[in-house]
Amino acid sequence: MLKPSTPDGHDDALEDTIVAVAAAMSDASRVKMLCALMDGRAWTATELSAVADIASSTASGHLARLVKGKLITCLSQGRHRYYRLAGHDIAALLEGMMGVSWKRTDPMRTRTPQHLRNARTCYDHLAGEAAVNIYAALVDEGWLQADGAALTEKGRARFQQAGIALNPNPRRKACCACLDWSERRFHLGGEAGAALFLHGEHKGWLVRTPGFREVTITPAGRLALKKLFNIEV
């Protein structure tokens, strides 16, 4: 039986690409590095080798494999080199895989740590219980379309009133519903999610824990979220 060909003649291009991505991730040390980079920051090879608990020379090979697989990018700053996730799509892929993997583990042995369940980074936006409550409030108040694809006119006006700067010509999705792996509900992603997180950081509402995905919501942040979204954190 003849196998049908695609119009451009690349019969197995998509399948081969999926296999290549899976192969680039098929190592525990590389997965540890990718998970560390989910905090949205750029890390040095030395920092990533420490996270993966491997020698620097070994880490170099793993990082090269991840760069080749287009999962991370390398940035040069003077004599230093930094690594970060290749983009929001890679972060979304990892977040989804974390959710799937968590459901496959023994729930008695691997419950989601409470400090991560409350609030954490999902690349450049907020995730966790606080984030899904914000998302629900945005929908309930008519600030966000039910499918999470866009802010409503009211939502854009309220963001502007709150001083949350939105890029009028975003290079990525202006807004999206991002499935939260610990809560199994949606939190706000895309340009709007990143803008909200950045605003919260500048205002001192949200404080990252350096080197980890954990986010602390400050007393001022709890008051601000209550005022803006009528939610208790």
CATH number for position 68? 1.10.10.10
> Where residue 9 falls among pLDDT bands split at 50, 70, 90?
low
- 6 located within any domain: no
Q: Of 41, 69, 86, at which residue does a domain stop?
A: 86
- 193 located within any domain: yes
Q: Of 86, 117, 151, at which residue does a domain stop?
A: 86
Co-location of 128 and 216 in the same domain: yes
Co-location of 147 and 81 in the same domain: no
pLDDT for position 107: 46
pLDDT for position 233: 81
Per-residue pLDDT, averaged over 209-233, amounts to 91
Alpha carbons 53 and 6: distance in angstroms, whole number: 44
Q: Which comes out higher in pLDDT, residue 158 or 13?
A: 158
- 65 located within any domain: yes
3-class DSSP string for 4-48 = CCCCCCCCCHHHHHHHHHHHHHCCHHHHHHHHHHHHCCCEEHHHH
The strand pair at 43-44 and 80-85 is best described as antiparallel
Instruction: Residue 12: count other Cβ atoms within 10 Å of its Cβ.
Output: 12
- 201 located within any domain: yes
Co-location of 44 and 106 in the same domain: no
Co-location of 146 and 191 in the same domain: yes
* Structure-token match 């369940």, residue found: 117
Co-location of 131 and 177 in the same domain: yes
Structure tokens at 125: 């936006």
Q: Which comes out higher in pLDDT, residue 115 or 213?
A: 213
Q: Which comes out higher in pLDDT, residue 65 or 211?
A: 65
pLDDT in tens, 186-208: 899 999 999 999 999 999 999 99
Q: Tell me the average pLDDT of the chain.
A: 86
- 2 located within any domain: no
Co-location of 170 and 194 in the same domain: yes
Determine the residue type at 230.
N
Under DSSP, is residue 125 helix (H, G, I), strand (E, B) or coil? Answer: strand
Of 204, 207, 225, 203, nearest to 216 by C-alpha is: 207
Give the predicted TM-score (pTM) of the model.
Answer: 0.66
Co-location of 156 and 97 in the same domain: yes
Co-location of 211 and 115 in the same domain: yes
- 7 located within any domain: no
Q: Where in the sequence is the domain holding 70, given as residue range(s)?
A: 13-86
Beta strand spans in the chain (E): 43-44, 72-77, 80-85, 120-122, 125-127, 176-179, 186-189, 206-208, 215-217
Structural domain count of the chain? 2
Phi/psi of residue 44, nearest 5 degrees: -85, 165
* Burial of 189 per CB tally in 10 Å (0-12, 13-18, 19+): buried
Phi/psi of residue 45, nearest 5 degrees: -65, -35
Decide: 228 and 212 in contact? Cβ < 8 Å.
no
Co-location of 66 and 117 in the same domain: no
Co-location of 79 and 118 in the same domain: no
Co-location of 117 and 208 in the same domain: yes
pLDDT in tens, 20-39: 889 999 999 999 999 888 87
pLDDT in tens, 67-125: 999 999 998 877 888 998 998 889 888 877 876 776 555 543 445 567 678 999 988 99
Co-location of 102 and 137 in the same domain: yes
- 100 located within any domain: yes
- 143 located within any domain: yes
- Least confident range from 54-68, 110-124, 181-195, 208-222: namely 110-124
Q: Of 86, 121, 147, at which residue does a domain stop?
A: 86
